[in-house]
Every structure is written in structure tokens, then in C-alpha cells.
Amino acid sequence: MKNIFVLFSFLLFTISVQAGGGWTQPKGKGYVKISEWWLIANQHYTDQGRIDPNLTNGLFNTNIYAEYGLSDRLTAIIYFPFFSRSYVNNEISGTTGDLLTPGEAINSIGDTDISIKYGLTKNSGISVAATLTLGLPIGNDGGGSQGNLQTGDGEFNQLIQIDAGTGFPLGGTNGYANVYVGFNNRNNGFSDEFRYGIEAGVTLFKDRLTAIARFIGVKSFKNGTPSAESTNTSVFANNAEFFSFSPEVAWNVKENWGFSAGVGTALSGKIIYANPSYNVGVFFKW
Amino acid sequence: MTLLTVLFSSCIGDDIIMDRVAETLKITTQAASIAAGETFQFEARFTNNIGNTEEGKVIWRSSDESILAITEDGLATAITRGNVVVAAEVTLEDGSLLKEEMDVEVSMVTVAIEQPTSRSGVIATTTFYDLEGDFILNEINGGVSLEIADNYKATDALPGLYIYLTNNPNSISDALEIGAVTVFEGAHTYEIAGVNLTDYDYVLYFCKPFRVKVGDGAIN
């Protein structure tokens, strides 16, 4: 199964306003972002959409995300979590103070996505692009003594996505909006997914600061094997669903680089963590 | 870089598990009457505040040593005809006394009380996951069988759902793992070797990856 949070983080945090959406990079131009994304979760959404507690689990991804314009219409993209750490806490008896179960951690690279984006429109008010993303299962899909520590899933994703975006003046400053829909074909018994999202941003302080709001959703087709029958014992279970809100700010220190920070939280979900995730990053463009 | 270093090495912390349960004391070998001049070995099982069975904690007493004498470890000697109360006692950590009593007659014959050969209960969810159903725990040759009734239903949305026998429904640390749950609706049976009918007081469903209890059922 795709480590949903890895892709989740990719979708939520590594695409900043300077890249992604319905826009492609001009030929020879590029964008790179190095970021740290993390989530510490002690509760999750059940299959009924209610919140239950769980043993605290932490996941940290140090990522590099890059876009490069192969032509004015064709952009190559890579998301590479070159350091990923997953851990679970110790379990301590509240009665005796004894260590019941020792915590564990694994460190590895994470599952990596490579994409190719093609601009379907040119010199249009609305930019439309189609993207094919291949999720390469090169992370650890069964770490720890219980197999519940993951930095990947051993499952190969093929995501086809259509983005449409437009920019517009907004009260003396600039704004943009982007929507997308996608279909994620998954193997190894994991359910396919319908993905959708809407994003809007506005630039402030003479275009130095960009404030972004994103809503992202994933619906499972539930056409895979039940989670309980999966050999993957990850908490990132098959048939996970969510609808999330992810505000982010990006500050352009100079024209060609800046910082960004964001938070993401699932407003609703099924079989997915209910705690917020965070990210900070530095981006460069040329 | 400092931030990255911190994040890289972070951070296995501690989660406190509220695993306290009430201590229990049960007389497991009983006699309604003992023939004068004979002996009878009483037995009891004590589980502490985390559900662990502790040996050597039970002290036996007789209400009238002239009728029925009993050693601290439960070996009774019937002396003369009459009626007594036999008590099993454990002094708890807080100094309080946990006691179980039974009436015993010293008479012409020894009559041991037959222990039940089955126990039963109801499984219920303790979370927002579906889990319900009746069960019967039967004594079988060499162990027990856990018969889950046809009104049983459990979620199949959780990875790594396991079933246990335990004396502490809040933890699996000293529980007996029966196995992974592979049936999510309807009647089915587990056979568990090397277990006595009175060894455990709860059936427990636990999700290993989430490390959370999903539901339980007291074995009555």
C-alpha cells in the first residue's frame, strides 16, 4: 500500500505556489524545494470516521522536490524523501511504571515519486496540465518487530492527474486558484483512489509573501483486499480516505529563493491519523 | 541543520498505559463437605492489580480449628462433625484484605464441588470499530475451545487485529495471544492448548499496528 502520508505530504506541502498546479515550467527553468515534514500522531480516524486513540507514532520525512522544464510544455518532477524516520513510543505501565513494550524506530529513504507533466493549454487564461506520477516503492514497508513502522509500502502507484489553474488580480495584489482531479491506480491488493483538490493563494507585501489555502480529498474505490487481510500491517491501512485543510505561507527572501511553512490536518477521514502534520522548507528557482 | 538534527534523532517517548485492574481472588477447588478424619487440598487463584497471577499470596483460614484445621497453604484436615467457614485471604498492597469464603461441613463423606466445564460472555467494542458477539469457553481435552457465536461481527478495516485471553483487558503484555483474526462475521471456534478453563477472565481484541484495544468480553 502506498504510504498515504508520504504522498499526502507530497501533495500538501512540497508543491508551493511557485510550482505545480496547472502550470508547467518554461524550458530550462526549474524549481527545487528541500523540506522537512513531520507528523506525530496519537489518534486516528476509524472506519466509521470517528476518532480513536493509538500508541504515539512519529514520522519524519526530509524531502527534496524538484521540477525542471524539458520544454515549455513538458516538465519533469521528482519527489524524493532521502531521509525518512518512523518510530513508535515506549509503552509504560501506569500502575507499576514498568516498560511493557519498548519503542522502536527505523531510518531509511522513503517511497519516491517521479512525474511528467504536460501542458494542455498555451497562452490561455486557464492553464491546464496533465500529470502522470509513478510512485516507486523504495522505502521500508515493514520495519520494526511488528512490521508497523513504514517509510514506504512496497506498492507501485500510477497516478493520472488533471490540473486547471488561473491567476487574477485581487485588490491591488495577485491571486491564483487551482483545482485538480486524479485517479490513482494501485497494485498489490490495494484499492484504487480518486483524488481531488482545490487551492487558492494570494500574494502580499509586493509579492514577497504568498498565503495559500488547500483542500485535498482522497476517496477509496474499496476494490482492494480488506485491510485486515493485507500482509501490510502498517497503520496506513488500505482503503484510507481523508479530506484535509492545509494552509501554507511562502516568503520570497530574494527573487530566486525563499522559505515556506505549512500545516495540514484531516478534517475528516477513515483509517488515517487525526493529528496535524507540519512542514518547513527552503525553495530555489531559476 | 540543528532543526534537521533534532528531527532526525527524535524521539521515542513514553506512552502511559492505564493498565490497573481490580485484584481478583477465586477459590478454584472447593468441597461442600469433608469426611471427618480426612484431608482436602483447597486451591485458589489470585490476580494482582495488573492482572498477573501471583502464587503464594493466598492465606487459608478456618472459622473453627477444632472442627476443621487448615494450613496457610490450604490443606484442610476434618477433625469432628460440624460446620465451618473456610476463607482464602490476600493482603493487598494498600493493606486491605481481599477475602473469599465458603461454607464447609465436616460429615461422614467428602463431597467436592464440581467445577463448571464451560464459561461464557459477550464481546463488545470499546472503540469506534464494530465488534460484538457472544462466546462460550469450553473445557476440552488438553485445553479449551473458544466458540464465537453466529451473532459475532468485527470490522475488517483494521490491519493486524488479534485475539487474546487475558486477565487484564487494558494490556496485552501478559496476555495469551490466540492469533490473528481472520473471521469477521459469524460463528467460528478457536482451540487453545495448555490452558485451563479458569486461567483467564477476559477475551481481548487488540490491533497490533495501532497498539490499541478494540474490544473485550468478560468470561463469566
Average pLDDT value over all residues in chain A: 88
Which among B3, B171, B212 is the nearest to A52, CB-wise?
B212
Per residue in A56-84, pLDDT (tens digit) is 999 999 999 999 999 999 999 999 999 99
With an 8 Å Cβ cutoff, is A58 touching chain B?
Answer: yes
Identify the structural domains of chain B with CATH numbers, from first to last. Answer: 24-113 (2.60.40.1080), 118-218 (2.60.40)
Cis omega (within 30 of 0) for bond into B11: yes
Distance, in Å, from the CA atom of B197 to the CA atom of B139, rounded to the nearest integer, reads: 6
Which of A100, A277, A280 would you mutate first to test chain B, the one with the most B CBs within 10 A? A100
Q: Is the pTM of this model over 0.90?
A: no
Rounded CA gap, A117 and A161, in Å? 9
DSSP SS3 for B45 = strand
The sheet that has A90-93: what strands, in order across it? A99-101, A90-93, B14-17
Helices H / strands E in chain B, number of each: 1, 19
**Tens digits of pLDDT across chain A (286 residues):** 333 333 333 333 333 334 578 999 999 999 999 999 999 999 999 989 999 999 999 999 999 999 999 999 999 999 999 999 999 999 999 999 999 999 999 999 999 999 999 999 977 889 999 999 999 999 988 888 888 888 887 788 999 999 999 999 988 899 999 999 999 999 888 899 999 999 999 999 988 999 999 999 999 999 988 777 664 544 456 788 999 999 999 999 999 999 999 999 999 999 889 999 999 999 999 9
Length of chain A in terms of residues written? 286
A4-285 maps to which CATH number? 2.40.160.40
Cα of B22 to nearest chain A Cα, Å: 11
Check if A96 contacts B (Cβ < 8 Å).
yes
Question: Per residue in B59-98, pLDDT tens?
Answer: 999 999 999 999 999 999 999 999 999 999 999 989 999 9
Inter-chain contact B4–A62, Cβ cutoff 8 Å? Answer: yes
Residue A249: CB atoms within 10 A of its CB come to: 17
Could you tell me if A46 lies within 8 Å of chain B, comparing CB atoms? yes
Chain A interface, mutation test: which of B210, B212, B214, most A Cβ atoms within 10 Å? B210
Are B15 and A90 a contacting pair at CB < 8 A? yes
Chain B segment 143-182 residues within 8 A of A by beta carbon are 155-161, 171, 173, 181-182
Using CA atoms, how far apart are residues A157 and A2, in angstroms rounded to an integer? 7
Chain A interface includes B22 (CB < 8 A): no
Q: Which of B8, B19, B181 sits opposite A95 (nearest CB)?
A: B19
Section B160-178 average pLDDT: 93
Which helix (H) or strand (E) segment is A9 a member of? Answer: helix A4-9
Distance CA A115, CA A104 (A): 33
Which residue in A106, A107, A227, A282 has the most chain B C-beta atoms within 10 A of its own C-beta, making it the best mutation to test that interface?
A227
Q: Is the ipTM of this complex over 0.90?
A: no
C-beta separation of A7 from A135 below 8 A: yes
- Does any CB of chain B come closer than 8 Å to the CB of residue A225? no
Q: Quote the cell numbers at residue B108.
A: 461422614
The model's pLDDT over B102-149, given as tens digits with 9 standing for 90+, comes to 999 999 889 888 888 999 999 999 999 999 999 999 999 999 999 999
Classify residue A43 by burial, with Cβ atoms within 10 Å: 0-12, 13-18, 19+.
middle
Asked whether residue B28 carries a pLDDT value surpassing 70, the answer given is: yes
- The average confidence (pLDDT) of chain B is 92
State residue A141's pLDDT score: 85
Task: Please state, as a whole number, how many other Cβ atoms lie within 10 Å of the Cβ of residue A73.
Answer: 17
Residue A162: closest CA among A114, A195, A207, A123:
A195
